[in-house]
């Protein structure tokens, strides 16, 4: 079974004031991981990771990452606001959204963030939103269509995705923006999700680098940064191999030297917008076993459900499960591990071999540090769990309290309904 950074005794003490379920984040592990990520890509003249705020929209996490030199990738107004208050400011924030309201563009511009446009028609929309002018810096999201193959089923084929500009549109877009006085340009794509093949990312960089040279030749535009998107996966399943970041960095550097340097585009900044590989492995959904059921299968029910962590129930995603204190016991029991939502898909594991689970045992769902609480919901009136940070000194801090019924009812006019006819 996988390791967990707290003992039963420590959890017992914590749950006196913060009952399960909650997601626990390991600060030291996140900092060490971010340092490793930065080191791998330090071989480029300029590099920055922009954490995908959608993966972990908590200002405490963002502040930790900001202290490690990280920027932010945002896709909504609240994410822009969270990044600003966490110390991720100005051009350290890239606003990559789609079908974007005018007010969100206005906030990104006001904060000095880089605006990454998703469609050629958004040029005029942005200009109108900003009172008839464009920002000095513009980035465009490229959709390579059939040019990019080998994409996994999670994000699908680029030509079937709603995101980005075609190659012809990209060339027109840069020419138009240059003519309108835009001074600085970036290029972005996002064609992967939870991808474990390191060569996939090298190939994506090659595709963008070659497009940079075409843009220079045909539009007279110098691309100053390339955002390779995110999509670097983590080894959820036993036997999965983690992406070798050093291998990826060296492979991309070889393409950089082959394409970018001879084209006179050096130095070119390299950006990522990863979320999952930054915090994913260092977050844990901590629950307790509260019921057992013996019918056609053996069931263990937790005090959490897919409203707290939806990935297994919605996507069928695999997450390792450990039973705290029973790591060395034989996995000689087969369970469906479930929650209390009124949906049969509310299962954290199906027919999983685990040690015997007794009521009251701590059951840990691993790799829950990205796209966890952020994707929670209130169906069935479920109240989403809180978040706890395990500090480097061993202390803990609640960084998001649990929802309450008052939170759930806050948008309802409970007084008005009494007189409703």
Entry pTM = 0.95
SS3 10: helix
Query: CA nearest 369: which of 281, 238, 310, 305?
Result: 281
Query: CA nearest 121: which of 129, 112, 131?
Result: 129
- So what's the pLDDT on residue 151? 60
The torsion angles phi and psi of 114, rounded to 5 degrees, stand at -80, 125
**HEC assignment per residue over 310-345:** CHHHHHCCCCCEEECCCCCCCCCEEEEEECCCCCCC
The torsion angles phi and psi of 81, rounded to 5 degrees, stand at -70, -45
pLDDT tens sequence across 146-192:
776 666 655 567 777 779 999 999 999 999 999 999 999 999 999 98
Query: CA nearest 300: which of 315, 281, 321?
Result: 321
- The CA distance from 58 to 22, in Å, is 14
163 touches 98 (CB < 8 A): yes
338 touches 299 (CB < 8 A): yes
DSSP state of 281: G
- So what's the pLDDT on residue 146? 77
**Architecture of the domain made up of 27-279:** Alpha-Beta Barrel (3.20)
274 touches 56 (CB < 8 A): no
* H/E element, 96: strand 93-96
- So what's the pLDDT on residue 148? 63
The count of other CB atoms within 10 Å of the CB of residue 241 is 10
Give 139's strand partners.
116, 186
User: DSSP per residue over 369-398, as a string?
Assistant: SSSSGGG---GGGPPPPEEEEE-TTS-EEE
- So what's the pLDDT on residue 168? 96
Q: Where in the chain do CATH 2.40.37.10 domains reside?
A: 8-23+283-409
- The CA distance from 353 to 304, in Å, is 20
Which stretches of 122-197 are DSSP H helices? 122-129, 167-179
256 touches 47 (CB < 8 A): no
Spans of the chain, pLDDT less than 70:
1, 148-156
* End-to-end Cα distance, the chain: 58
Q: Where in the chain do CATH 3.20.20.10 domains reside?
A: 27-279
- So what's the pLDDT on residue 418? 84
- The CA distance from 39 to 36, in Å, is 5
**Architecture of the domain made up of 8-23+283-409:** Beta Barrel (2.40)
- So what's the pLDDT on residue 156? 63
* H/E element, 24: strand 22-26
């Amino acid at each position: 079974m996988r390791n967990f950074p707290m003992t039963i005794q420590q959890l017992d003490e914590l749950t006196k004031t913060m009952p399960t379920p909650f997601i626990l984040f390991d600060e030291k592990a996140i900092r060490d991981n971010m340092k490793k990520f930065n080191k791998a890509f330090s071989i480029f003249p300029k590099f920055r990771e922009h954490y995908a705020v959608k993966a972990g929209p908590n200002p405490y996490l963002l502040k930790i990452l900001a202290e490690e030199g990280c920027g932010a990738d945002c896709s909504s107004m609240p994410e822009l606001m969270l990044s600003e208050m966490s110390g991720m400011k100005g051009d350290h924030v890239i606003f990559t959204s789609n079908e974007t309201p005018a007010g969100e563009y206005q906030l990104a511009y006001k904060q000095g963030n880089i605006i990454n446009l998703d469609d050629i028609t958004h040029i005029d929309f942005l200009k109108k939103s900003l009172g008839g002018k464009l920002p000095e810096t513009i980035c465009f999201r490229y959709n390579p269509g059939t040019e990019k193959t080998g994409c996994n089923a999670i994000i699908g084929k680029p030509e079937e995705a709603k995101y980005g500009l075609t190659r012809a549109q990209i060339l027109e877009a840069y020419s138009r923006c240059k003519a309108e006085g835009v001074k600085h340009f970036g290029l972005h794509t996002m064609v992967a999700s939870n991808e474990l093949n390191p060569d996939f990312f090298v190939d994506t960089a090659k595709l963008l680098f070659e497009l940079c040279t075409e843009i220079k030749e045909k539009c007279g535009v110098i691309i100053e940064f390339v955002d390779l998107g995110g999509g670097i996966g983590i080894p959820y399943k036993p036997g999965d191999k983690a992406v070798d970041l050093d291998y990826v960095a060296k492979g991309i550097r070889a393409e950089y030297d082959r394409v970018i340097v001879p084209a006179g585009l050096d130095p070119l900044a390299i950006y990522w917008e990863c979320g999952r590989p930054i915090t994913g492995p260092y977050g844990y959904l901590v629950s307790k076993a509260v019921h057992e059921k013996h019918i056609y299968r053996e069931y263990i029910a937790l005090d959490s459900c897919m409203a707290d962590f939806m990935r297994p129930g919605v996507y069928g995603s695999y997450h390792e499960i450990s039973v705290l204190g029973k790591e060395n016991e034989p996995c000689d029991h087969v369970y469906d591990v479930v929650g209390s939502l009124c949906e049969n898909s509310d299962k954290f594991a199906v027919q999983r071999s685990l040690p015997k689970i007794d009521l009251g045992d701590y059951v840990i769902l691993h790799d829950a540090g990205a796209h966890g609480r952020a994707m929670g919901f209130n169906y069935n009136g479920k109240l989403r769990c809180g978040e706890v940070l395990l500090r480097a000194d061993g202390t803990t801090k609640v960084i998001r309290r649990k929802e309450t019924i008052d939170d759930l009812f806050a948008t309802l006019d409970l007084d008005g309904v009494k007189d409703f006819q």
